[in-house]
Amino acid sequence: MKVWDSIDSLPIYFYWKVIDTRSLEWLLEEKPDKKTPQAEVDKLLRAAWDKIEVEMYDLQLQDKDFIQNLEAERRHYLKKIKAAVSQKTIDVLHYEQSALIHEKKEKSKFDYDQSIVAIEEKIGQIDDKKMSVRRYYAHLKKLKNGK
């Protein structure tokens, strides 16, 4: 049984399958033997996903926009808590204003297929079942920076 456990080897297609389906089975590069206990497979998959998540956080923390978005989300939730706890009109109004902006951002969710199309427009056709997660995000970063 082989498992992808790094963003350097995991193809972006399978990464997004894990995200979309919430199933770690997509991390299996080769299916396990029927003799392998499911608990062992699950443990290996969880360990692999934990490692991938840490690598992804490290990669995303290099992006200033990611940090700014986290800070904006933090401010939004702090306003929500303050409005709920204080119940002052001004705090509620500040939160409601923040909530409108937050909702707009939430509605503009990331579209994986469109990101593949955007990359292909710049570099030609790609095979997302072979391109690593790290390489994919490197291409997205170049697109975002207009290069």
Instruction: Give me the tens of pLDDT residue by residue for the chain, a chain 147 residues long.
Output: 899 999 999 999 999 999 999 999 999 999 999 899 999 999 999 999 999 999 999 999 988 888 888 898 898 899 999 999 998 999 888 888 888 877 776 666 788 999 999 999 999 999 999 999 999 999 998 988 776
Query: What b/e sequence results for 96-113 when a residue is b if at least 16 CB atoms lie within 10 Å of its CB, and e otherwise?
Result: eebeeebeeeeeeeeebe
Name the residue with tokens 């939430």: 106
3-state DSSP helix/strand/coil % of the chain, to nearest 5: 70, 5, 25
Say what the pLDDT of residue 107 is.
Answer: 62
Query: Counting Cβ atoms within 10 Å, is residue 135 exposed (0-12), middle (13-18) or buried (19+)?
Result: middle
Measured distance CA(5)–CA(138) in Å, rounded: 19
At 147 the pLDDT is: 62
Question: What pLDDT shows up at residue 64?
Answer: 87
**pLDDT at residue 45 in the model:** 97
pTM of the model: 0.79
